[in-house]
Homo-oligomer: A and B are copies of this chain.
Amino acid sequence: MGVVVPLESSLDQSGGRASLDRLLELSAPSMRDVNTMIVSRTGSDVTMIPEVAKHLIDSGGKRLRPILTLLCAEMFGYRGDGHVKLAASVEFMHTATLLHDDVVDESDMRRGKPAARMVWGNQASVLVGDFLLGQAFQMMVEVGSLPALDVLSRASAVIAEGEVLQLTTAKNTNTTEDDYLSVIRAKTAALFSAACEVGPIVAGLQETERAALRSYGMNLGLAFQLVDDALDYGGTAKDLGKDIGDDFRERKVTLPVILAYRRSDADEKAFWDRVIVEGTQDHGDLERGIALVRERQGLSDTITRAQHYGAVACDALDGLPASAQKDALLDAVAFCIDRVT
């Protein structure tokens, strides 16, 4: 299908696919500092802490969130090192969320590796998550910016609130699109938004730039999550990082299912209620679920929704001065959408 969000700058030479190369290259020098910071702040005499942290941090996430923080400060010419600590804080908050999520979801795997809770137990996942959150706040305090602390602490509470909301909507096929958007706005997009907004804050910018990047991050986060949801029902991208069908097996009601369900006939609704609500899944059910999601345009419309938020994210950057970092942020949107189209 190619790239839909109109971003020529994001097309590389090799075949028209969006690439994160420019973003990775631009952020590489500061990301080295972030990685050093992460290693030093997961050090502890309590050996289980660096072990668990290393397991998760090494497991191959793209570290998009801390990169966003770096670029959103450096695009305004910021030259200090506060953004490095804030970027590491953002990654710690994200890692803590993953650790706690695995306990909440009773996940066995994370990014194709055994979840930390399978290796060290639920106990270590809960507590090392708490430790990382504590370290995140300490780093923020060291940066000394109360507005940045405000944005990130607010995100921390909102993320948890979103996860609780998700519990109450879980396994419920009557979840509305609006309910679902409330969940992913809180549990995914809020941290993207905060990660971006602390960039202009630490660089000393005011509300105009903060609002632009807050909006960019929020909408990129929504697009990112929707693409992730679509990929789980058979997106064509190869760099999936998790198996197709995880959400189905875990009976998660994501947008592809929400859309398919409300467009279903009685027979199909009975199928969804059995596999999601009752949780009785037989051989061949995943394949039928994928087929139904496609037939009812649940997949294509989820992708269309993601493109919508991607477009809003790009437009949010309009008022900001041209810079290599701004181009890289546009690349991030195109790459995100391009994973699934």
Residues of A within 8 A of B (CB): 44, 46-49, 100, 103-104, 121-124, 126-128, 130-131, 133-135, 137-138, 140-141, 144, 146, 149-150, 153-161, 163-165, 167-168
Q: Smallest CB-CB separation from A93: which chain B residue?
A: B134
> For residue A157, which residues in chain B have a CB less than 8 angstroms away from its CB?
131, 133-135, 137-138
Copies of this chain in the oligomer: 2
> For residue A133, which residues in chain B have a CB less than 8 angstroms away from its CB?
130, 133, 156-157, 160
For the complex of A and B, the 3 pairs showing the least CB-CB separation, nearest first, are: A134-B157, A134-B156, A137-B153
Whether A131 lies near B160 (C-beta < 8 A) is yes
> For residue A149, which residues in chain B have a CB less than 8 angstroms away from its CB?
137, 141, 149
> For residue A47, which residues in chain B have a CB less than 8 angstroms away from its CB?
168
> For residue A154, which residues in chain B have a CB less than 8 angstroms away from its CB?
134, 138
Q: Give min CB distance, A187 to chain B, whole Å.
A: 10
Whether B163 lies near A127 (C-beta < 8 A) is yes
> For residue A163, which residues in chain B have a CB less than 8 angstroms away from its CB?
127, 130
Contact A104-B122, Cβ < 8 Å, known A48-B168, A137-B137, A164-B46: yes
Beyond the given pairs A100-B130, A134-B157, 10 more chain A to chain B contacts, judged by CB atoms under 8 angstroms and listed by A's residue number, are A100-B127, A103-B126, A130-B133, A131-B157, A134-B159, A135-B157, A137-B153, A138-B150, A141-B153, A149-B149
Q: Give min CB distance, A4 to chain B, whole Å.
A: 34
Whether B131 lies near A104 (C-beta < 8 A) is no
Whether B167 lies near A127 (C-beta < 8 A) is yes
For the complex, give the distance between the alpha carbons of A46 and B158 in Å: 11
Q: Give min CB distance, A215 to chain B, whole Å.
A: 21
> For residue A138, which residues in chain B have a CB less than 8 angstroms away from its CB?
150, 153-154, 156-157
For the complex, give the distance between the alpha carbons of A321 and B209 in Å: 50
Q: Give min CB distance, A40 to chain B, whole Å.
A: 13
